[in-house]
Chains A and B, each alone.
Chain A
Amino acid sequence: MKWKKFFVAFVAAFGFMFLFGFLWYGKLMHGAHQEVSILWRTDADFGNHFSALIFGHIVMSFFLTLVCVRFVPAGGSARCAALAILVVLIYIGNDFILYAVQPLTTKILGGWIVGDLIQFAVAGAIIGAVYKSSTAVRT
């Protein structure tokens, strides 16, 4: 494994996932989330737990990079994106379960599913692109 390329791919995936999460879940879906405001922390409380959000994104992007490198060692955006979509089905399954047990709206469920799919597919494509360039350099 090319650790330098792995690290670059991981950082790029983390950067995209965090930025996309902020825009999609934090900004675009803000109104939908506020329909069930009792479910969310207050702004001040969220600030106190912000490190957990960063840590969560680090773990998710590191894991996704690891899986892509393990299964698609030659890299390639399309193949890594396809694998990431398979992985995100687990997250979407969890979204369905959360919808059944928490008073979420169907608008929130739909937004999470679309957001998860875009976030993971693009992150997978980024990781695959970085690894493909790694292979090109070796050969």
Chain B
Amino acid sequence: MKRFILAFVAAYIFLFLWGWLLNGVFLKDVYAETPNLWRPQSEMMSLFHWIIIGQALIVFSFVMIYASGFAGGGVVAGIRLGVLLEIAAIGMRMGFYAVQPIPGKLILYGSLGGLIEMIIVGAVVGAIYKPAGVRAA
């Protein structure tokens, strides 16, 4: 349980920082091309707790799936799970791209950023979380 919490906290901190860097800094100009699709900055800040809850849910789900099937494989298994989950996220982004006038490059850069994100999250979780049997061995 302690390892689970540690893995969750470490992965969450990375996800939060990377999310800010990717969406708030690197892709800021791309988002600005479609201002009608996004809330004004002040409104986003008033709903910031939803971002925190959403990111926490993503990391919690990641660690839960890892702990229930991939655990014991270490960093490589964590990265493998991260890549698998990011492929699913790309499917979801394609769905949004079909129904919303989001620029194609935002989908492309978002998917590349998401791949880096999930690889690192997987590596962090894989490095920290070890099932009891593996730790004892």
Residues of A within 8 A of B (CB): 21, 38-41, 45-46, 49-50, 52-53, 55-60, 63-64, 66-67, 70-71, 83, 86-87, 89-97, 99-103
Contacts and interface: CB of A to CB of B under 8 A. Distances in A.
Interface in B47-68: 47-48, 50-51, 53-58, 60-62, 64-65, 68
Contacts of A56: 91-95, 97-98
Interface residues of B, number: 39
B116 to A, nearest CB: 17
Nearest to A26: B99
Contact of A86 (B39, B68, B97): B68
Contacts of A21: 95
B13 interface: no
B89 A99 contact: no
Prevailing SS type, chain A contact patch: helix
Contact of B94 (A40, A41, A52, A102): A52
Nearest to A92: B57
Interface of B: 36-39, 43-44, 47-48, 50-51, 53-58, 60-62, 64-65, 68-69, 84-85, 87-95, 97-101
Given A56-B94, A96-B57, A86 B64 contact: yes
Contacts of B93: 56
Given A63-B91, A86-B64, A94-B54, 12 more contacts: A52-B95, A53-B98, A55-B91, A87-B61, A91-B92, A94-B58, A96-B54, A97-B55, A99-B47, A100-B39, A101-B38, A101-B44
- A55, A56, A67, A94: most-surrounded residue (chain B CB, <10 A): A56
Contacts of B85: 87, 90
A92 B89 CA distance: 11
A8 to B, nearest CB: 20
Contacts of B91: 55-60, 63
5 contacts: A41-B99, A90-B58, A96-B53, A96-B54, A103-B43
Given A93-B61, A94-B54, A96-B51, A63 B84 contact: yes
The 7 closest A-B pairs by CB, nearest first: A59-B91, A96-B54, A56-B94, A93-B57, A53-B98, A89-B61, A56-B95
Contacts of B97: 49, 52, 56
